[in-house]
Amino acid sequence: MLRTMRSNAKWVFYILAFSFIGWLAVGQVMDIMGPSGNVVLRVNGREVQITEYQQRLQAAYDQYRQQYGTAPLSREDDQQVQDQVVNQLVQDILLQQEYRRLGIRVTDAEVIEAARTSPPPEIMRDPQFHTDGQFDVTKWQRFLQTGATGDVLAQIEGIYRDRLPQIKLAQYLTADVYISDSKLWRMYKDQHDSVRVAVLPVWPYQMADSSPISDAELQRYIGEHEDELQRPAVAYVRFVAQPRLPNAEDSAATRATVARVRAEITRGAPFAEVAQRESADTVSGQRGGEIGWLRRDEQGFDQEFLQGLRGLRPGQTSAPILTQFGYHLIRVDSARGDSMKVRHILIPVSLQSARLDYVEARADTLERLAAEQTDPRVLEAAAERLGLPVSPRHRVVDGERLNIGRYVIPDVSVWAFEAQVGETSPVIEAQPAFYVFRLDSLVPAGVPPLADIRDQIAARVRGEKQKVIAKRRADSLAAALRGTPDLVAAATARGLAVQPFGPFPRLEPPSYLAREPLVIGTAFGLGVGERSGVLEGEGGYFVVQSLGRRLADSSAWVAQRDAQRAQLLSAARQARIDQYMRGLRERASIVDRRKEIFRTQVSDEPLDLGF
């Protein structure tokens, strides 16, 4: 229990104290200035050696394996794990540097007091420290005094020496955060004041414009909007695939295996032991098939699986249940209300015996003929030899996984941006097939050439011209309607469409106006009966008239003011911490040398995941 607490505590307390999720995105790194031996990472001069990085990486792989089982990582998953490790290292180093800069220290007395009075969440959930279903701090304190070994106490001390500096830093950063009554009242009014308005819109897209658009106009628009036109790198690939989806014979063989396993359980074999031996779900299989507590209407869970639960009594094993994952044998250990504690054994439908040998032999041939070659012609030659087609061209976007039909194909979105044009990939194993890909072309990141985005840019330039026409139209209508007290009646008399809305509060505008903050703000700033001038919104031009207003109840606000302040203070403090940490990262000098150091290993050696 305490080993698990120790391994998870650092992540738990970072989340509780700082919510660094947004900050943990991979940041911009500096150019490498020169060789640095075995240094993988440098943060403001603090160097991380290969051994330290590999220890962290192995721990992350172990954690991944505990969560997802022993299935191999895809290249995309592996890259994500490595990036998370680097970002965690950067975070740790920056925090330690801040502690030293600010003089944040932790005394032995503080560690002891925190351990006695503020146990970690894992401890508070542990039933051995509960009385009548609630956490009992006296049981925890008794455990610390008499039941904890030296090793356990050392683990606990380590947790609090990590946690307390974070808490002190958070207190230092947020000590002056306060929300006044006037601000609370304004926020309450935003939720409870409401208005009724009439809106006369003029939409640019409805304005006719047939003027020609020159290339010079298109290039000028691109030059003025380069930042928003940036695109990630794109690779174009083709592939040859040896299918490996099961057929009817494979399904029949799988059903026979399921029947054998169920018969073994029916004859008295312990379900947990059979699950450990037979289940393809390695995560629950390690726990004897245990999934945990499920509601009969559990949201987001496979519906065929839940259907198979219906009617099962504690101790009873279901008939085989077929889902998208394969066949399940389900057992209910106990039930409480509409929830059940469930175990299962998963037996997927997979290739069997002679057909498996046939498919794997052809995959070996595909690998021998076409995989990891520099001559692009080998793909067509292998396809002809095996009687398989070469696919049409597929587009792979840097940072996005490749989907073919309903299947995600692993590794391609990493390999394609490491390969040279014309190279072929290793054999990539996915659920529907064994694949060999060829990189046919690569478009680097940046602003695409005009030829590739001409229609898109022409549409935007046309829209800009339509906005000019729409503005003139809106100004003309506003002038014609000036002096008429009733916008709805005056506009309707001229055949114009006026939209009435409300009542609605500022924070819940009608969908028609949801993307028009200037219109919403104006609606709440007008007096009843007052009319705006022409407003230039995000999507068009508008004239707004207030038709009515209902004010928030100040006595109701006073009754909930303290709870409102507590909730908003928590959010405001978190925002302060997030902003501070983003600033630390942006100002830091960070050099990431992984590609330089591991280039040879990545290309020549298989990754050891410890599986």
* Rounded average pLDDT over 337-348: 88
Question: Is residue 265 domain-shared with residue 403, that is, in the same domain?
Answer: no
- Pairwise CA distance, residues 551 & 503, whole Å: 11
Are 511 and 597 found together in one domain? Answer: no
Q: Indicate whether 25 and 150 sit together in one domain.
A: yes
The reply to whether 305 falls in a domain is: yes
**429 with 383, same domain?**
yes
Would you say 534 and 541 are in contact if contact means Cβ atoms under 8 Å apart?
A: yes
State the residue range of the domain holding 152.
2-175+581-604
Average pLDDT, the chain: 87
Tokens describing residue 302 = 């496979």
CATH code of 343's domain: 3.10.50.40
- How many structural domains comprise the chain? 4
Q: Do residues 267 and 313 share a domain? A: yes
* 364 belongs to a structural domain: no
State whether 429 and 464 are in the same domain: no
Establish if 356 belongs to a structural domain: no
pLDDT in tens, 150-202: 888 888 888 889 889 999 999 999 999 999 999 999 999 999 999 999 999 99
Together in a domain, 129 and 221: no
Q: pTM for this one? A: 0.63
Domain boundary (419, 443, 467) is at 443
Percent of the chain with pLDDT over 70: 91
Same domain, 33 and 156: yes
Is 185 inside any structural domain? Answer: no
Please state which of the ranges 212-216, 284-288, 466-470 shows the lowest mean pLDDT: 284-288
Long-range contacts of 266-270 (CB under 8 A, 24+ apart): 266/317
The arithmetic mean of pLDDT across residues 203-212, rounded, is: 93
Average pLDDT over residues 410-426: 95
CATH code of residue 544: 3.10.50
Reply yes or no on whether the pLDDT at 10 is more than 50.
no
Q: Is the pLDDT of residue 29 over 50?
A: no
pLDDT greater than 70 at residue 234: yes
**Which residues are paired to 234 by β-bridges?**
397, 443
331 and 260 in one domain? yes
141 with 23, same domain: the answer is yes
Dihedral sign from CA coordinates of 526, 530, 533, 536: positive
Q: What is the largest CA-CA distance in the chain?
A: 91
In a domain, 526, yes or no: yes
Best CA proximity match to 292, nearest among 283, 303, 280, 304: 283
Select the more confidently predicted residue: 404 or 308: 404
Instruction: Tell me which of 443, 465, 492 is where a domain ends.
Output: 443
Same domain, 80 and 11: yes
The whole-angstrom separation of Cα 560 and Cα 525 is 26
- Residue 182 in domain: no
Residue 611 lies in a domain: no
Q: In what order do the strands lie in the sheet with 339-347?
A: 290-295, 339-347, 326-336, 321-323
Q: Is 125 among the domain residues?
A: yes
Are residues 198 and 222 part of one domain? yes
Tally Cβ neighbours within 10 Å of residue 187: 15
Q: Which of 382, 409, 443 is where one domain is finished?
A: 443
